[in-house]
Amino acid sequence: MSLIASAKRGIITDEMKSVASQEGVTEEFIRMGIAGGHIVIPVSPYRTVNFCGIGEGLRTKVNASIGTSTDIVDIEMEVEKARQAERAGADTLMELSTGGDLVEIRRRVIAATSLSVGSVPLYQAFIEAARKDGAVVHMREDDLFRITAEQARAGTNFMAIHTGINYETLKRLKNQGRHGGLVSRGGAFMTAWMLHNEKENPLYTEFDYLLEIMKEHEVTLSMGNGMRAGAVHDATDRAQVQELLINAELADKAHAAGVQTMVEGPGHIPIDEIEANVILQKRVTNRKPFYMLGPLVTDIAPGYDDRVAAIGAALSSSYGADFICYVTPSEHLALPTAQEVFEGVISSRIAAHVGDMVKLRKRDADLEMGHARRDLDWERQFAVAINPERARAIRKERMPADTDTCTMCGDYCALKIVNRYFKF
């Protein structure tokens, strides 16, 4: 029985109990959230994972995306990226390889992590067509659904499926145009296929068949965002909104069919449009879990895009986004290293926490840190820190003569001076 079916029948499953315990909410809250389509728990009948609840009233979750490219194919490096993402505290992982043995890479990555793993089956279908027949536009529709089922059986917990790209979406894209072009690989693949073959998107026309596959293998459906903006000047344009409306309607249909569903959101968004995007997404999807990609709030900081995205992610979370896809420092420049994956996860975790301080009013950890700093209790500070190893290493390499203080203030530590006279 699927989680949605259990939830609608009033049954509280082990997955619901686990998430309720993690989040500090009641088991009934989780059950009702799943029954109403406001919470998902990515699962798989083929592997055991650390359960992760995503949705309304829960902590904002962070996804780390890894995978090879046509230029760099190093399976060991991708396995190490998976380990570093989990070590940094990522909640989920997406395996998005486009180079090398795609099946073997996914198998190795899934085996290396206890996190829920996501994929984009469309990538493999189009890349196999390019390898066998010379071009992505020769992709066969049956292969797309076959690969989706195969990836599900391999233990994939959630899948980004580009259902919202259809003739109406492309019409909006063509009529308005784009400053930053079309940056989604999935969106580009499907757009090229549709225009070359003069056919509608099979993921849209055969959505009922897709749902059968999702339901059979208990895969969480993530409604892909193929029209996301790759430049802030394209944010909230007609193509993006058209795709969202289609995905919202299909998401309702998926939930009614018993398939857990979340909806992805746009990539590059200026700060003053983030709140509107979250409100729009939540309103038209009937409060489905919102998977925010980025968002990057400026286009001029290559090499620092993890920080750019953290600004946008913190605001997105505070306004109600449920799930954030991390960004690494090498975004727009190169395939990330394992260390950059780690740094990207940390940046996004900070952003998610900052958003949750507003959205969930959860500030206990910050209060604990304030007390620890006031009391010059360094071990408590390290314990509360989001990355204790780095905090400890920085202090250790520049230890002060007076070990109660730090080398920023040394003998003139404001806290130590005042603590002689006050006991706060």
> Domains of the chain: which residue ranges?
60-359, 364-419
Give the integer Cα–Cα distance in Å for 49 and 63.
Answer: 15
- State the sign of the Cα–Cα–Cα–Cα dihedral 91, 92, 98, 100: positive
Q: What is the pLDDT of residues 338-392, one digit of tens each?
A: 999 999 999 999 999 999 999 999 999 999 999 999 999 999 999 999 999 999 9
Joined tokens for residue 396: 């250790």
- CA 312-317-321 angle, to 5 degrees, is 105
Supply the DSSP symbol for 79: H
- CA 110-310-219 angle, to 5 degrees, is 30
Mean per-residue pLDDT, 279-297: 97
Give the integer Cα–Cα distance in Å for 411 and 37.
Answer: 57
Question: Hunting for tokens 């990207």 — which residue is that?
Answer: 344
**Quick one: pLDDT at residue 183?**
93
Partners of 39 in the β-ladder: 55
Closest of 122, 140, 138 to residue 130, by C-alpha: 138
**Quick one: pLDDT at residue 231?**
97
- State the sign of the Cα–Cα–Cα–Cα dihedral 51, 54, 55, 58: positive
Mean per-residue pLDDT, 133-152: 98
**Quick one: pLDDT at residue 233?**
97
Mean per-residue pLDDT, 111-123: 98
What is the band of 423 on the pLDDT scale with cuts at 50, 70, 90?
confident
Q: List, as one string, the DSSP characters of 93-112.
A: EEE---SS-HHHHHHHHHHT
Give the integer Cα–Cα distance in Å for 75 and 250.
Answer: 36
Give the integer Cα–Cα distance in Å for 3 and 55.
Answer: 15
Please check whether residue 89 is in contact with residue 59, taking contact to mean a CB–CB distance below 8 angstroms.
no
Mean per-residue pLDDT, 44-55: 96
Please check whether residue 342 is in contact with residue 85, taking contact to mean a CB–CB distance below 8 angstroms.
yes
- 337 in helix, strand or coil? coil
Joined tokens for residue 357: 């301080």
- Tell me, letter by letter, the H, E, C secondary structure of 235-281: CCCHHHHHHHHHHHHHHHHHHHCCCCEEEEECCECCHHHHHHHHHHH
Please check whether residue 112 is in contact with residue 86, taking contact to mean a CB–CB distance below 8 angstroms.
no
φ and ψ at residue 263, rounded to 5 degrees: -125, 130
Q: What is the pLDDT of residues 18-42, one digit of tens each?
A: 999 999 999 999 999 999 999 999 9
What is the band of 242 on the pLDDT scale with cuts at 50, 70, 90?
very high
pLDDT at residue 197 is higher than 90: yes
**Quick one: pLDDT at residue 63?**
98
Which CATH code for domain 60-359?
A: 3.20.20.540
pLDDT at residue 268 is higher than 90: yes
Joined tokens for residue 20: 């309720």
pTM comes to 0.96
**Quick one: pLDDT at residue 212?**
98
What is the band of 88 on the pLDDT scale with cuts at 50, 70, 90?
very high
Q: What is the mean pLDDT of the chain?
A: 97
Question: Hunting for tokens 């490096």 — which residue is that?
Answer: 77
CA distances from 417 to 368, 375, 377, 404 (A): 21, 12, 15, 11
Mean per-residue pLDDT, 220-246: 97
pLDDT at residue 256 is higher than 90: yes
Joined tokens for residue 121: 């089956």
Supply the DSSP symbol for 411: G
Question: Hunting for tokens 């233990």 — which residue is that?
Answer: 155
What is the band of 302 on the pLDDT scale with cuts at 50, 70, 90?
very high
**Quick one: pLDDT at residue 422?**
86
**Quick one: pLDDT at residue 194?**
98
What is the band of 1 on the pLDDT scale with cuts at 50, 70, 90?
confident
**Quick one: pLDDT at residue 424?**
82
Mean per-residue pLDDT, 280-290: 98
Omega into 295 within 30° of 0, i.e. cis? yes
